[in-house]
Structure 1
């Protein structure tokens, strides 16, 4: 089955344009680390963000060094691999949960100091590896650091088109409604959506984030307090984001760059990779029900650049809610876009949706290649 052609036909089928009535149809994009990489090659893949040479992590402060020494690591000259990073986070998680396994000089407070330092290191590493998209105070828009390439223009055109295929002007939501779920910390999708909005509009006005910030430090525009179902789409970050901060008064979104000291005192809400993920924080407890409901209410799921790794067991379980039972998958479609070959993609999906491919069950359509190439083919068929 031709993936771009089939996707385009679904857009034409459910668009409100040219029809008297067009019931709301939710198209949810699930974006993994491969999505920002497809947007700009400078973005790191997941494991690269959690690998630190000795000179990268050691000048950060004494807390991490002291923690490693206390746990019998040979610290001098130690390079932190992704596996070692996961092991450190796992130990921290277990010590937070079970006081009895803490070393004699570790307590809740200094464990939190080490964890905050790890989060600050990740933010700093990302800033040194990938482009940042700040808000231009004059334009009140997220701005890209270079002129957009043809591939980037194509992705922008596809999302712009999808956002125009929905309508809520008659107080009834109609047509195609795109939503976005992402495992990424960065602001790539925000920058894209903001540049799809009109010159005097902000994506925040019509985008629900699963939590409502008390303050949004990213320009003149502010997020809407309570959205209208006729116009809203979702952007849900299941692993948190570099802009999400918890304060005594609640959450705030702050896309401004912060120094390392500020990050250590109050790091963003991000999930650290571990051998056993701990999603007990308030942010994740608030986000997961929103993601599950959105998946229940979606007809089309587009998975982009996400390898469905075994260690993401909880995220895989959440994805399963898109079609938990065979009957749930009837008339639902999963489009999987990845650099892996089609057979690998099908194998990954089958480990979540065991009934996929069966008669009158979930339809899975793989695509091997870059997301920009897929988007270009979709636009050609829509034209």
Structure 2
């Protein structure tokens, strides 16, 4: 089996613009699951951990949620909400939003929205009590880390910084490698990394397209209304983000903390886990076509810390667009970095891309271990 870090490093050298008269634009897309921020900082929760609540976590502030549960015959006294129960609650809310005929006699569109908003506010509250929310520094005009970087964190940042240096956009002619990012995570880890890669006087928003264009970012006007293809990369949050808010004037990004009451009135645009995901909201309708086109245009896909769960059926279908047919996978490569063993990784990928391993089909290279270790090995192979 091919060595994952060395093979990736060789592809970087092959497609870099450096030392060549011409190097066609080559998109490398990173698909970041919950394992990515966990690899960055152990404080970050993994997948379902964010959606389980002890009674004392949700009851004091989840009044509308408690009333909803009582109406639907749940015994709420000292009730701990498991991830499965959380998904069941969200599923019921989703079905009642879609189909008025199945609503309980005292539920309507307005109070269903109140309960849904409260669930989103509870998730933000739990995240703030669990992991760092990297804040926007108004003076530096940057999203800042809450502590100096560890050696592992610096290695991850150095890898992305190196990839950005292997691209060029002189005279608006894009050449070399263009790194892009698609993430299922709500947090701002990747934004903070990209902002620090942009240098002391730069901002990641100047060169990064988010799939939607905010009118403001943390109270400041968005500097770029329409990006130019020569230098821009993509960051697409397909499950939304804690900083994405919809207002009457349009979308805005706000990385500052909001109190629970404000969050209930206008929660961030985030997808709640459910037994049947509902991506009908306007934000997700805007993001999905952008993500699909990006995957189709990419030749390298790096999946980091994402278990490809069956419940994410629509996300799996979206990923399939990277190489829908065997012919689409020719000269394309998937790098899968996860703590699961290689055979498990291969099995997960095969459920999406049935032509892996076939002659002139998609190449899949697994790696069992932390992303920081993979990044270090890649950097060493590129030296």
User: Which bin holds the TM-score, normalised by the shorter protein?
Assistant: over 0.9
Query: C-alpha separation between the residues in 2 aligned to 1:367 and 1:301?
Result: 13
Secondary structure (helix, strand or coil) at the match of 1:114 reads: helix
Q: Which residue of 1 aligns with 2:120?
A: 119
Give yes or no for the alignment of 1:13 onto 2:3.
no
In the TM superposition, what whole-angstrom CA distance separates every residue of 1:312-363 from its partner, at most 9, and x where no partner exists? 0000000000000010000000000000000000000000000011110000
Query: C-alpha separation between the residues in 2 aligned to 1:193 and 1:225?
Result: 19
Q: Is the 8 A contact 2:136 2:218 kept in 1?
A: no
Query: C-alpha separation between the residues in 2 aligned to 1:101 and 1:223?
Result: 46
Q: Is the 8 A contact 1:133 1:144 kept in 2?
A: yes
1:105-144 equivalences under 5 Å are: 105-144=106-145
Q: Which residue of 2 aligns with 1:197?
A: 198
1:178-327 equivalences under 5 Å are: 178-217=179-218, 222-327=222-327
Secondary structure (helix, strand or coil) at the match of 2:105 reads: coil
Query: C-alpha separation between the residues in 1 aligned to 2:221 and 2:214?
Result: 13
Query: C-alpha separation between the residues in 2 aligned to 1:129 and 1:168?
Result: 40
Q: CA deviation at 1:147?
A: 1.4
Runs of 4+ in 1 over 6 A off after TM superposition: none
Query: C-alpha separation between the residues in 2 aligned to 1:136 and 1:170?
Result: 32
Q: Is the 8 A contact 1:140 1:221 kept in 2?
A: no
Secondary structure (helix, strand or coil) at the match of 2:37 reads: helix
Q: CA deviation at 1:132?
A: 1.8
Query: C-alpha separation between the residues in 2 aligned to 1:15 and 1:237?
Result: 27
Q: Which residue of 2 aligns with 1:74?
A: 75
Query: C-alpha separation between the residues in 2 aligned to 1:78 and 1:354?
Result: 43
Q: Is the 8 A contact 2:214 2:222 kept in 1?
A: no
TM-score (norm 1): 0.99
Query: C-alpha separation between the residues in 2 aligned to 1:174 and 1:370?
Result: 30
In the TM superposition, what whole-angstrom CA distance separates every residue of 1:258-305 from its partner, at most 9, and x where no partner exists? 000000000000000000001000000000000000001000000000
Q: CA deviation at 1:137?
A: 2.2
Q: Which residue of 2 aligns with 1:99?
A: 100
Q: Which residue of 1 aligns with 2:359?
A: 359
In the TM superposition, what whole-angstrom CA distance separates every residue of 1:90-111 from its partner, at most 9, and x where no partner exists? 0000000000000000000000
Query: C-alpha separation between the residues in 1 aligned to 2:69 and 2:172?
Result: 58
Secondary structure (helix, strand or coil) at the match of 1:170 reads: helix
Gap change, CA 1:20 and 1:173, over 3 Å in 2: same
Give yes or no for the alignment of 1:90 onto 2:91.
yes
Superposed CA RMSD in Å reads 0.9
Query: C-alpha separation between the residues in 2 aligned to 1:184 and 1:223?
Result: 25
Q: Is the 8 A contact 2:35 2:46 kept in 1?
A: yes
Q: CA deviation at 1:217?
A: 1.2
Gaps of 5+ in 2: none
Q: Is the 8 A contact 1:165 1:175 kept in 2?
A: yes
Gaps of 5+ in 1: none
Q: CA deviation at 1:223?
A: 4.3
In the TM superposition, what whole-angstrom CA distance separates every residue of 1:153-180 from its partner, at most 9, and x where no partner exists? 1001000000111111132100000000
Q: CA deviation at 1:221?
A: 7.1
TM-score (norm 2): 0.99
Query: C-alpha separation between the residues in 2 aligned to 1:51 and 1:364?
Result: 34
Gap change, CA 1:27 and 1:121, over 3 Å in 2: same
Aligned length: 382
1:336-355 equivalences under 5 Å are: 336-355=336-355
Secondary structure (helix, strand or coil) at the match of 2:123 reads: helix
Q: Which residue of 2 aligns with 1:63?
A: 64
Q: Is the 8 A contact 2:215 2:221 kept in 1?
A: no
Q: CA deviation at 1:215?
A: 1.4
Secondary structure (helix, strand or coil) at the match of 2:68 reads: helix
Query: C-alpha separation between the residues in 1 aligned to 2:180 and 2:200?
Result: 21
Q: Which residue of 2 aligns with 1:149?
A: 150
Secondary structure (helix, strand or coil) at the match of 1:344 reads: helix
